[in-house]
A and B are shown apart, each in its own frame.
Chain A
Amino acid sequence: EIVLTQSPGTLSLSPGERATLSCWASQSVSRSYLAWYQQKPGQAPRLLIYGASSRAAGIPDRFSGSGSGTDFTLTISRLEPDDFAVYYCQQYDTSPFTFGPGTRVDIE
C-alpha cells in the first residue's frame, strides 16, 4: 500500500498570500497518478488537480500542481476567501487508491 503523508497539518495564511502544500508518497507514484482535492465542511471532495499537474475542468489557474515520483506540491498562488478549506492528495496508481491525511488552510 502506498502511504501518503501531507504537510503541514495546518497552514494559517491571509487572503492574497501564497500557499504551498506538500504530499509525500512512501513509494514512487508511477505515471504521476496523483490528484489533489479540496473539501469544505458538509461537502464532498472536489477534484482540483490530476496527473500531478493538470487542472480539472473549471479550476482557476491560481491552483497549480507539480512533482513526480514521491514528492508532490499543490500551490495556490493568491489565496481567495473561498480557498480556505482542507486539501487532500490521492494516488490512483496502485490499489488501494489511498488518500493523504489532509492539510487545513485557515484564515490567519
Chain B
Amino acid sequence: QVQLVESGGGVVQPGRSLRLSCAASGFPFSSHAMHWVRQAPGKGPEWVAVISYDGNTRYYADSVKGRFTISKDNSKNTVFLQMYSLRVEDTAVYYCARPPSYYDIFYPLDVWGQGTTVTVSS
C-alpha cells in the first residue's frame, strides 16, 4: 500500500544540523513531487518545502529559506530535509506528504507520513 515513513528526528542544540528522511513505497515515487510540512506543539500545520518530481524545482517557506534544503533520490524512493542552523522555533513534528497527481507541484496533499519529532533545545 501507499506509505511514507519519516526518520531522523531527535533532540538537537540550537545552531546544529539535522537531516530528516522519508522513505516512500507503494507508488511511482519518481513521478511525484514531495512536500515537508511541520507542526509545532499545539499549533496548526506549517508548510515547509516542496521538490518537483525530477528534483529540478524547489520552493521553501520564508521561515526556513537559506537554512533548510529539500532533496530527492528517485533511485532510493526517498526525500530528505537537510536542516542547518536550527532554532528553538524549529521544534515540531515534521511530516512528509505527497500530492496525488503525477508531476504537478500545485496540488493538495493526500498521503502523509506519521511524522518525526525534532526538538531544538539547549
Contact = CB atoms under 8 A, between A and B. Distances in A.
Contacts of A97: 35, 47, 50, 59
Contact of A50 (B45, B97, B108, B112): B108
A44 B108 contact: no
Interface in A40-54: 44-47, 50
A27 to B, nearest CB: 16
Contacts of B47: 90, 96-99
Contacts of A37: 45
Given A44-B113, A97-B50, A92 B61 contact: no
Given A44-B113, A56-B110, A57-B110, A99 B46 contact: yes
A96 B60 contact: yes
A92 B35 CA distance: 12
A92 B107 contact: yes
15 contacts: A44-B95, A44-B97, A44-B112, A44-B113, A45-B37, A47-B108, A50-B107, A56-B110, A57-B110, A88-B44, A92-B106, A93-B106, A96-B60, A97-B35, A97-B50
Interface of B: 35, 37, 44-47, 50, 59-62, 95, 97, 106-110, 112-115
